[in-house]
Copies of this chain bind each other. A is one copy, B any other.
Amino acid sequence: MNDTTLKSIAKSLVPENYLSLANDARAERDKQIKLLLEQRKLPLSGWSEPMIEYCISELALLDSNNFPSRCGVGEREGRVICDLVRRRHYNFAHGIGRSGNLTDAQPKAAGSTIMANLTNSLVRDLIRSIGIPSCSHAIVVPLATGMTVMLTLRAIHSKRATSRYVLWSRVDQQSCFKSILAAGLTPIIIDSLLTPECTEQSLNASKSPFATNLSEFASKINELGAETICCVLSTTSCFAPRSSDDVVELGKLCKAHGIPNVVNNAYGLQSSYYCHQLQQASRTGRIDAFIQSTDKNLLVPVGGAIVAGFSDVDTVDAFARLYPGRASGTQSLDVLMTLLSLGRNGYENLLQERKQAYDKLLEGFTNLARTHGERVLPCRNLISIAMSLVSFETSSGRLEMIGSMLQKRGVSGCRVVSTADSKTIDGNTFQAWGSHCSKANVPYLTASAALGIKPEDVANFLAKLDEVLRQYRTKYMDHGK
């Protein structure tokens, strides 16, 4: 409904002076949208639902499948037969990208194109504002993290066709490892360093017992030859007691040897520490791409990731160009709606609440550990916290009961790890699977203060954990001891 429509006509339906206030409001709304499209920056304050839907709907109406009179004789015309499906996609149907490039504009879908590009711009703006100001490229990819890492590896490999190896700092999360295999490359597993002298609550980097084995990385590079190495792959956010990899030193190493460097920053945007490490690494070393999930960092349904990079290397563009064919626009739309609803202030509030929850969780864990004769395992990990379970381990070995007792009480996401397990993936055997390090020998449980957690979640968890540990001791352990 443009100005002409309203101004010239509605007088007979409503007095003009009543309309003029409404027109002012409409102008204000249009101005905000104009500003968004011009500056492509995250608004400071979140938008209301009607405002978001207004903007989204207008964009969707720019796609050819929504043109009032049209005549489609192609093989792909964005027809959606089920109304429920059409509605939930806000009348978007064409997806994003073209056969040539994931970020190319679609002739039939101007609205989808704007939507996707706008989303990418807002995401880049967000990343810059929360600690990585040098970030120059960021795109939302309709693939979860594992597939995105895989395709990033392939994009890098396409420019290093003779390389074969990925130097991978072990992290016991299957999909990251499988990404390397799925890319058709050979993983070289670099086990974490584990220093014995660790004291409780020494949570700074220097004292963390877990560390990236930098010298092993260096020696592997020498052994295999830099040109055979497709890239280094490390991880920031992970389950405690594993620490974030030392991405700054790895960045320097990669720069020194001219080896691409990929960082799995899975849910690391929610921690300013990880963001600053990435920023630092890009300045003093080399990072070709860092990858993070949209679900964990932006609280949308699972299915998307963000590939981001810095201006000196063009891996993000290479990724987009490698992507064969079209892709779902759903993840971009979810991210766009979420970012508009939060605004920068909203996201910063989420970050703060998470930080407070983490502090509360750490304090609670520390007290609980003291009560039960255990300790919080020190590590450079700003999201996940691990508490030892040494005194709960018995010959009868029912440590996993703790996990299932918690689950029955509605606790999800708490992992109980015994060091006894090993796991083989596609011929590669990992000792002490779950502990990220072959030499780990301390059983433990972990919990995370991840984005979106509520203070009451922390309080409930601590209360339930205390109860479970007491019951476990009574029920499954030798009373005499």
Chain A 42-65 interface mask (CB, 8 Å, partner B; 1/0):
000000111111110110111110
Out of B68, B77, B114, B338, name the residue touching A13 (CB < 8 Å): B114
Output the nearest chain B residue to A426 by Cβ-Cβ distance.
B158
Contact A175 B99, beta carbon cutoff 8 Å: yes
- Stretch of A86-94, A199-207, A277-285 on the interface side: A86-94
Contact B62 A22, beta carbon cutoff 8 Å: yes
Contact A4 B34, beta carbon cutoff 8 Å: yes
Q: A9 vs B470: C-alpha distance in the bound complex, in angstroms?
A: 37
A88 — which chain B residues lie within 8 A by C-beta? 88-90
| A453 adjacent to chain B (CB < 8 Å) | yes
| A196 adjacent to chain B (CB < 8 Å) | no
- Stretch of A125-133, A295-303, A428-436 on the interface side: A295-303
**Segment 75-118 of A: residues with Cβ below 8 Å from B:** 75-95, 99-100, 105-111, 113-114, 117-118
Taking the nearest CB of chain B, how far is it from the CB of A33, in angstroms?
Answer: 6
Q: A349 vs B324: C-alpha distance in the bound complex, in angstroms?
A: 33
- Stretch of A220-228, A249-257, A388-396, A405-413 on the interface side: A405-413
| A418 adjacent to chain B (CB < 8 Å) | no
| A144 adjacent to chain B (CB < 8 Å) | yes
Q: A318 vs B92: C-alpha distance in the bound complex, in angstroms?
A: 32
Out of B74, B87, B330, name the residue touching A330 (CB < 8 Å): B330
| A397 adjacent to chain B (CB < 8 Å) | no
Contact B81 A25, beta carbon cutoff 8 Å: no
- Stretch of A149-157, A209-217, A308-316, A369-377 on the interface side: A149-157
| A327 adjacent to chain B (CB < 8 Å) | yes
Most chain B CB inside 10 Å of its own CB: which residue of A12, A72, A184, A322? A72
**What is the count of identical protomers in the complex?**
4
Chain A 341-359 interface mask (CB, 8 Å, partner B; 1/0):
1100000001000000000
- With A68-B32, A301-B329, A302-B327 known as contacts, the answer to whether A19 contacts B62 (CB < 8 A) is yes
**Segment 425-459 of A: residues with Cβ below 8 Å from B:** 447-453, 457-458
Out of B57, B117, B149, name the residue touching A57 (CB < 8 Å): B57
Most chain B CB inside 10 Å of its own CB: which residue of A40, A48, A302? A302
**Segment 319-338 of A: residues with Cβ below 8 Å from B:** 322-331, 334, 337-338
Q: Tell me the count of chain A residues lying within 8 A, CB to CB, of chain B.
A: 161
Contact B82 A68, beta carbon cutoff 8 Å: no
Contact A100 B174, beta carbon cutoff 8 Å: yes
A32 — which chain B residues lie within 8 A by C-beta? 68
Out of B73, B99, B105, B384, name the residue touching A453 (CB < 8 Å): B73
| A123 adjacent to chain B (CB < 8 Å) | no
Q: A71 vs B459: C-alpha distance in the bound complex, in angstroms?
A: 9
Taking the nearest CB of chain B, how far is it from the CB of A130, in angstroms?
Answer: 16
Kindly list 19 other residue pairs between chains A and B, CB separation below 8 angstroms, not including A18-B109, A57-B57, A146-B325.
A5-B37, A18-B106, A21-B110, A26-B62, A48-B68, A70-B410, A70-B411, A71-B460, A74-B448, A76-B302, A85-B300, A85-B334, A85-B338, A94-B302, A95-B295, A143-B327, A145-B325, A184-B184, A328-B331
Q: Which 4 A-B pairs have the closest CB atoms?
A: A74-B413, A146-B325, A303-B328, A95-B302
A–B Cβ pairs within 8 angstroms, 23 of them: A4-B30, A5-B33, A9-B37, A28-B67, A72-B453, A73-B414, A74-B448, A75-B237, A75-B239, A76-B450, A77-B452, A80-B299, A81-B338, A81-B452, A82-B338, A94-B301, A100-B174, A151-B182, A182-B322, A301-B329, A303-B326, A303-B330, A328-B330
